[in-house]
Structures are given as C-alpha cells and as structure tokens.
Amino acid sequence: MFEYDQQIVDKLLEESDEFRSLYEKHQELNKQVDDADVGVLPLDDLTLHRLKKEKLHLRDRLATLIELHRQDPA
C-alpha cells in the first residue's frame, strides 16, 4: 500500500501517532480480508463487506494524510 510514497509513509509512521494507528488498523483489516478470501478466516458476506468498507475508508484517510504532508512537509 502506498509504495509510490514510501518515504512519506515511513516519515509519517515515525512522526504521527494518528497515521501510525490508522496504518496499523488498515494492515490488520487487510490481513483479515485476505484470510477470509482464502478461507482461513470464516466470515459471513455481510461481515466481510463491512471489513472491506472500513479498510477502504482507512486507506482513503491515509491517502489524505499523505497528500496533506506532500503539500506541507513541515
């Protein structure tokens, strides 16, 4: 995720508690969704849909924080 902005991601992970928390939650949800997709984590369709939606929301928020940092790196 966000490989094209890895330097910014690394910096924000180091400096921003909010970004780090959102990033870790996104990673956790990503693993759950992947596990559900391969059948390791049994989830009903509604729960899986909810997890995917939450993961997408987190990704969008992370992208916003990256963009804000890009515009004002101070």
Contact between 43 and 7 (Cβ < 8 Å): no
- Of 74, 69, 25, 33, the C-alpha closest to 51 is 33
Give me the pLDDT at residue 1, please: 66
Q: pLDDT-based confidence at 39, cuts 50/70/90?
A: confident
Q: Give the pLDDT confidence of 52-62 residue by residue, as tens digits.
A: 999 999 999 99
Q: Kindly report the length of the chain.
A: 74
Q: Where are the domains of the chain?
A: 3-71
Mention every residue, 6+ apart, whose C-beta is less than 8 A from residue 51. Answer: 29, 32, 33, 36, 43
Q: Give the pLDDT confidence of 6-15 residue by residue, as tens digits.
A: 999 999 999 9
Separation of alpha carbons 35 and 55, rounded Å: 14
- Of 62, 67, 64, 53, the C-alpha closest to 1 is 62
Q: pLDDT-based confidence at 4, cuts 50/70/90?
A: confident
